[in-house]
Amino acid sequence: MSGYAEGILILLAINVVFAYGAFLPLAAGQLNLGLAAFAAIGAYSSAYVSNVYAIPALAAIPFGAFAAGIIALIVAVPVLRTRGIYLALATFALGQIVQATILNLGFLGGAAGYPVNEFIRLPFISAFTVAVVALVALLFGTRFGIAVTAVHDDERVADLMGIDVRAFQVTAFVVGSAIAGIAGGLYAHHFSYIEAQYFSVTLSITIVLNVLLGGTQTVIGPLLGAAMFTLLPELLRGSAHWRYVVFAAGLIVLMALRPEGLLTGDQLRQLFGWRRTDDEGSRMPREGPT
């Protein structure tokens, strides 16, 4: 495989993990604009232990995810007491604070950035990606997925049905942040150098937009969105910045025409050949007295 192709696939693999980090809270109806900060926590903590304690990446990266998850849990309780736009802004503020804090930590390189010693390649990275996708897919195949979607659709009724709305929101937030931590760890150990400036709010926004592109209704949506964001611009062969311009413009148009994203729950059911009963259902039933 050419170095170029491998580079693209690595980027795709990492972006997919990132996307699932954003997907979890979005599925529960929350916007995490501080996502990049949790990726940063994962990146820096995994890089630190692998640099300083010579812990192999295989263990360092999960450690980074764990660190991100713990921090997410600590902040989730006060942050998730806010709602809607306030929640999004609280996560945004959180992200900025984490980024600024990391910039100040001299032993992590500060503004000059932090080099990472261990180097990982595509097979290793894609193993993590597959694991994350499998984990989320499995999770959403359980009652967890149904409960989370219920919370997203109608918190009041979900509560009356006995679903602990707060618990599910916190769980989605924490797991999503931990997944973002994995993405950060993968990024750190492949690109061999991380700087706090990279983990900005625009990164968070970009990842969220990836997920919205693919659609939040299905578990495959984030995969689709990340794939489109990563692969499509390669066909256009523009500079990195044109990629963002086209992506943003495309998303704006998509939101105007089809806000639910590329793949809806309905379409997924159709795609797998399950009987589409809508058409039948929308006609009045023929049985019964006429």
- 88 touches 33 (CB < 8 A): yes
Contact call for residues 90 and 98 (beta carbons, < 8 A): no
Q: Write a three-state SS string for 43-57.
A: HHHHHHHHHHCCCCH
Residues 89-108 that bind other proteins (CB under 8 A): 89-90, 92-94, 96-97, 99-101, 103-104
Pick from 71, 136, 150, 188 the residue near other proteins by CB under 8 A. Answer: 150
Task: Give the DSSP H or E segment for 194.
Answer: strand 193-194
Please report whether residue 226 would count as binding other proteins according to CB under 8 A. no
Pick the binder of other proteins from 59, 74, 157, 271 (CB under 8 A).
Answer: 157
Q: How far is CA 60 from CA 54, 110, 134, in A?
A: 9, 21, 21
**d(C-alpha 49, C-alpha 7), whole Å:** 25
Q: Which stretch binds other proteins (CB under 8 A): 1-9, 53-61, 119-127, 197-205?
A: 197-205
Shortest Å, Cβ 67 to other proteins: 19
Please, what is the end-to-end C-alpha distance for the chain in angstroms? 68
Residue placing its CB nearer to other proteins in the complex, 119 or 242:
242
Which parts of 161-180 interact with other proteins (CB under 8 A)? 161-165
Window 124-143: residues binding other proteins (CB under 8 A): 138, 140-143
Measured in degrees and rounded to the nearest 5, phi and psi for residue 194 equal -130, 145
| Window of 7-15, 40-48, 174-182, 259-267 that interacts with other proteins by CB under 8 A | 259-267
Smaller CB separation from other proteins, 152 or 190: 152
Judged by CB under 8 A, the chain residues 201 through 220 that form the site for other proteins are 201-202, 205-206, 208-209, 212, 217
Amino acid letter at 117? N
Residue 2 or 277 with smaller CB distance to other proteins: 277
